[in-house]
Structure 1
Amino acid sequence: MSDKKIDNAIVDPKTYAHVDEFHELFTRLRKEDPVRWTEPDEYRPFWTVAKHADIMEVERQNDKFLNDPRLTLQTIEVEEKVKEFTGGQSKLIRSLVDMDNPDHRNYRGLTQAWFMPPNLKAISARVDALAEKYVDRLEEKGGECDFVSDVAVWYPLRVIMTVLGVPEEDEPIMLKLTQELFGSTDPELRRENADFNVNTVTDFFNYFNALTEDRRKNPKDDVASVIANATIDGEPIGHLEAMSYYVIVATAGHDTTSSTAAGGLLALMQNPEQFAKLKADPDKYLNGAIDEMIRWTTPVKHFFRTAAVDYELRGKKIKAGDNLLMCYWSANRDEDAFDDPFTFNIERSPNKHLAFGYGAHLCLGQHLAKMEIKALYKELLARLDHIELAGDPAFVEASFVSGLKRLPVRYSMKRKAA
């Protein structure tokens, strides 16, 4: 493969939908060119950072490597359209993941307590009940379904919308907009007649504008009320920041968990000895299995950082202003960080995966995500008798946030305990 073909493959959304091709490419990069100057067609150049240790080195120094102004892979054409629409700004939204300190610290502090274990205990019974409801739905499907579209996308969506304060009847809107946003490069998911995400983001903002007005008049015990009435240093937070806060909670708060739930089931089906071990003793193995599912799927495939200073990384001279692509899925298969990284092992310990990021930007919702997956799999393992693939799985064609879009399964279930 020529240098140009490698560079183009790194940015091609189709690469991320073909798992074996992705890992073949990045295994080569980790071995031959782990910090690679990358100049793909139609994109501004950047450094591709493929190894676990190098990503940790960058992430722990958030004063030297900034989230702003470039965060995700976008073509030059899309970047220019965004700037034209926003009047010069490089992004349509400004959420926690876009911010550097002190804004990041201040805005994260607004909702952080909501997503910490002490507060999550208050909703654990609700999460357990929802897990049971969606495994009931699996049973109602009569032995064959698409696990993604029938179960995996809906369960985490209901959980995060309960936390946020979005009514259940509006969940189809939230799901559609989320899939358009993260699947904007997938022909099956992107919005028709829209070549970048402005219409999707506008619809999100319009929805959350109305929610904000309601929560300012009638505050409730939910995250929407926190955002709607938030102040920093005594001043209300900006409109863009408020709308963006809703969007990041409403999208990343369920899509990544859905991807892990579905991708974890696929991995278990493909590794029946691991599945049997987990079913035989879930109390012993489930926590480890969840971390391994998260490592295996790595739903957030990348973020960018921008060097604030000149820096040397693995012998490469990074210049101030250079962009670095942090390839988390590659890091989570790094042979120097994991024993047998291409083996799905529910007993893997330690499991220092980077699927939630690292350092100051460690995922705010990681504890909620693990709690959801644990509740779902406790119910699933207790009631599944047998499950197998009923067709070919398919992955989203997207380089930023992606996972399975189809997982056809055939199964039998035990009688539900009274």
Structure 2
Amino acid sequence: MDSKTKEATTVLADPTAYADDDRLHPALAHLRAHRPVAWVDHEPYRPFWAVTKHADIMAVERDNELFISGPRPLLMPAEGDDVMKQQQDAGIGLRTLIHMDDPHHRDVRKIGADWFRPKAMRDLKVRVDELARRYVDRMREIGPECDFVTEVAVNYPLYVILSLLGMPEEDFPRMLKLTQEMFGGDDTEHKRGEGTTEDLLAVLMDFFTYFNALTAARRENPTGDLASAIANGTINGEPLSDMDTVSYYVIVASAGHDTTKDAISGGLHALIDYPDQLDRLRGDMSLMGTAVEEMIRWATPVKEFMRTATADTEIRGVPIAQGDSVYLAYVSANRDEEVFADPFRFDVGRDPNKHLAFGYGVHFCLGAALARMEMNSFFTELVPRLESIEFAGRPELSATTFVGGLKHLPIRYSIR
């Protein structure tokens, strides 16, 4: 491996690189062109194969028997891998949908699936539109400047998903802080303590304590919300285990709003960066559907998932041994020059737009329809009312290797 390629692989194992597009994207472009399946061996992570081409990632996702989620569904330091495995072996570790494989994954997924189907989305749309209007009105009230991430983008999807769960509004700040600590373990601003494995476990324990109490309450008195559906869900007539129940809450309550926050704030950032596209969208609101997909591609909130080979195989001619870990670089796939014409151009009318920001195959994001609807409602409310907008300071991205996006977006604007 030449020095430039080896240097490019270090980017994938560096959380701060995801906070610096000028480092991240050139490295990924180099790997796509010269080493699309690259061996990465950098502490504190165990080695893995990085897959950076769109077609290869789809092929891995499609073959969910050859490439499974367990035991390493996401990139963590080796110490974290060991602790999580010990906990799961003891039946006390976090085990969300992203950790599971079929058939258990399929059965657990069904419990919440109806809440995200088209009929449920239609029923929810009035409420989502109302909340979109509320937060655009809030922008007008607090203007002419604000930090869009902390004052708007965080709160709007948080309110939607936790309302869907049926959680009391006074608990929303607690869920926000725990989510930021869980996904922000590599970020100096958001991590708890020193961001160690022990700190992460303490965050998860706080989640478990809260959701164990919620489960008990919903089993005693079901209230017709998503939390009740999860608490009283069954597989083959048997209730979910306590760990699976709590883990279900964690993935819905945290990823269900944090990724949408990243996509909304990343989308607004792009509209400011590309004022011609903002003008184009304002002049033709029928483009909102394609604009939302482009915002999601542009932001790609989930940076990666990992898979483990269950047998000897190969990817793009590169031998992959049984037990090897494979890193699916979604950020890279969504800039693949073979799939997207002029991939570094933000285009609100891009069609087709076969981005992989929601994953692919059996693990396709359960809440994708809700995220799309939230973004469509918000920008449909914002764009026609937006008279002017510009940056009022330097945008800042989170350091992460998993889920993240803008943590600060200072803007100056005028809204009708």
User: 1:337 and 2:342 equivalent?
Assistant: no
Give distance in 1, aligned partners of 2:166 and 2:234.
19
Conserved in 1, the CA contact under 8 Å of 2:149 and 2:408? Answer: yes
User: 1:11 and 2:13 equivalent?
Assistant: yes
Deviations for 1:160-194, whole angstroms, at most 9, x for unmatched residues? 00111111111000000000000111011001255
1:117 is matched with which residue? 118
Deviations for 1:327-364, whole angstroms, at most 9, x for unmatched residues? 00100000011110011011111000000000111111
Q: Give the C-alpha shift of residue 40 in structure 1.
A: 1.1
Q: 1:198 aligns with which of 167, 187, 201?
A: 201
Q: 1:312 to 1:83 in 2, by over 3 A?
A: closer
2:375 is matched with which residue? 373
1:140 is matched with which residue? 141
1:322 is matched with which residue? 324
1:223 is matched with which residue? 226
SS in 2 for 1:380: helix
What is the aligned length? 412
Give distance in 2, aligned partners of 1:193 and 1:316.
38
Deviations for 1:306-339, whole angstroms, at most 9, x for unmatched residues? 1111112111011111110000010000001111
2:187 is matched with which residue? 186
Q: Give the C-alpha shift of residue 281 in structure 1.
A: 1.6
Identity of aligned residues (%): 50
User: 1:34 and 2:30 equivalent?
Assistant: no
2:127 is matched with which residue? 126
Q: 2:270 aligns with which of 262, 267, 273?
A: 267
Give distance in 1, aligned partners of 2:189 and 2:18.
15
Give distance in 2, aligned partners of 1:207 and 1:91.
15
Q: 1:71 to 1:12 in 2, by over 3 A?
A: same
Conserved in 2, the CA contact under 8 Å of 1:8 and 1:41? Answer: no
1:302 is matched with which residue? 304
Conserved in 2, the CA contact under 8 Å of 1:4 and 1:39? Answer: no
SS in 2 for 1:343: coil
Q: Give the C-alpha shift of residue 81 in structure 1.
A: 3.8
Deviations for 1:264-312, whole angstroms, at most 9, x for unmatched residues? 0000100010010001121x21100000000000000000011111112
Conserved in 2, the CA contact under 8 Å of 1:219 and 1:225? Answer: yes
Q: Give the C-alpha shift of residue 384 in structure 1.
A: 1.1
Q: Give the C-alpha shift of residue 134 in structure 1.
A: 0.6
- 1:145-160 equivalence runs, <5 A: 145-160=146-161
- 1:229-244 equivalence runs, <5 A: 229-244=232-247
Conserved in 2, the CA contact under 8 Å of 1:259 and 1:297? Answer: yes
Gaps of 5+ in 1: none
1:170 is matched with which residue? 171
Conserved in 1, the CA contact under 8 Å of 2:5 and 2:35? Answer: no
Give distance in 1, aligned partners of 2:44 and 2:373.
41
Conserved in 1, the CA contact under 8 Å of 2:75 and 2:401? Answer: yes
Letter matched to residue 95 of structure 1? T
Q: Give the C-alpha shift of residue 30 in structure 1.
A: 0.1
Letter matched to residue 165 of structure 2? L
SS in 2 for 1:386: strand
Q: 2:259 aligns with which of 236, 249, 256?
A: 256
Q: 1:247 aligns with which of 245, 250, 259?
A: 250
Conserved in 2, the CA contact under 8 Å of 1:96 and 1:108? Answer: yes
After TM superposition, the score normalised by the length of structure 1 is 0.96
Conserved in 1, the CA contact under 8 Å of 2:153 and 2:264? Answer: yes
1:391 is matched with which residue? 393
Letter matched to residue 340 of structure 1? D
Gaps of 5+ in 2: none
Q: 1:38 to 1:184 in 2, by over 3 A?
A: same
SS in 2 for 1:340: coil
**Runs of 4+ with deviation above 4 angstroms:** 1-4, 87-91
Give distance in 2, aligned partners of 1:88 and 1:209.
20
Deviates more, 1:296-305 or 1:229-238: 229-238
- 1:268-287 equivalence runs, <5 A: 268-282=271-285, 284-287=286-289
SS in 1 for 2:383: helix
Give distance in 1, aligned partners of 2:47 and 2:125.
45
1:214 is matched with which residue? 217
Letter matched to residue 156 of structure 1? P
